């Protein structure tokens, strides 16, 4: 018994390169950024196998059929991922019309959502790096042990204020600000910041 022409061609170098190329193209899209390239290749190959029975030699070559199926499969996969991203089938509700209790106060969902929620919904969210999280905790801990004046100086400097503007805003001398900056630098270096 002879193998189906599509199945026989599926293991050729051309089809392997086609699947790898298309998988890499899809991997660059936000919907697929967490999915490994081999998994995308396998899903594309599955589409070819599932549609092999539709091949008609009178209408074109096996390669033309496979290229068409792969392009079509890529479009279907993108559409399905976007549909999942939009939470197809879920009963949606208005962000402004929905209320919930937040810290004993009634707020709309729109007031409670943060930018990360929007980026997650748009599939552009990236998990914070573990080192960044640890550094953020260390930074918060270091700031907590500072005096209120030093904490305010550090906050202003982190917001991009200059030495002169810090002195002006807090009503202290620039020399006092420089001294505080040197002490802050020393404390942060002790905590492992550079």
- Domain ranges in the chain are 5-85, 130-190
d(CA 51, CA 45) in angstroms, rounded, equals 10
Q: Model-level pTM greater than 0.85?
A: no
d(CA 29, CA 23) in angstroms, rounded, equals 10
What pLDDT does residue 91 have? 57
What pLDDT does residue 123 have? 58
DSSP E strand boundaries for the chain: 99-102, 105-108
What pLDDT does residue 147 have? 82
Best CATH choice for the domain 5-85 from the list 1.10.1740, 1.10.12, 1.20.81, 1.20.1630: 1.10.1740
- Establish whether domains 5-85 and 130-190 are of one fold: no
What pLDDT does residue 1 have? 55
Best CATH choice for the domain 130-190 from the list 3.20.20.140, 3.40.50.20, 3.30.479.10, 1.10.10.10: 1.10.10.10
What pLDDT does residue 118 have? 63
Digitized pLDDT (tens) for each residue of the chain, 194 residues in all: 577 888 888 889 999 999 999 999 998 888 888 888 999 999 999 999 999 899 888 999 999 999 999 999 999 988 887 775 555 555 556 666 677 766 777 777 666 666 666 666 665 555 555 555 555 556 677 777 778 888 888 888 878 888 888 899 889 999 999 998 888 888 877 776 66
d(CA 142, CA 93) in angstroms, rounded, equals 42
- Torsion angle of alpha carbons 68, 22, 44, 17, nearest 10°? 90
């Amino acid at each position: 018994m002879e193998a189906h022409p599509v199945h026989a061609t599926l293991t050729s170098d051309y089809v392997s390169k086609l699947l790898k190329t298309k998988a890499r193209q899809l991997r660059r899209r936000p919907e697929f950024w967490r999915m490994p390239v081999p998994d995308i290749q396998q899903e594309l190959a599955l589409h070819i196998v599932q549609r092999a029975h539709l091949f008609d030699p009178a209408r074109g070559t096996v390669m033309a059929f496979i290229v068409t199926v792969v392009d079509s499969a890529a479009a279907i996969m993108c559409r399905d991922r976007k549909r999942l991203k939009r939470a197809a089938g879920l009963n949606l509700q208005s962000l402004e019309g929905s209320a919930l209790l937040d810290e004993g106060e009634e707020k709309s969902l729109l007031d409670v959502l943060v930018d990360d929620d929007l980026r997650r919904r748009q599939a552009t969210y990236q998990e914070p790096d573990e080192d960044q999280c640890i550094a953020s905790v260390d930074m918060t801990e270091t700031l907590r042990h500072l005096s209120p004046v030093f904490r305010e100086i550090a906050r202003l400097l982190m917001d991009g204020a200059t030495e002169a503007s810090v002195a002006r805003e807090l009503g202290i001398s620039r020399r006092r600000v420089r001294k505080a900056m040197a002490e802050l630098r020393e404390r942060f270096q002790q905590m492992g910041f550079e």
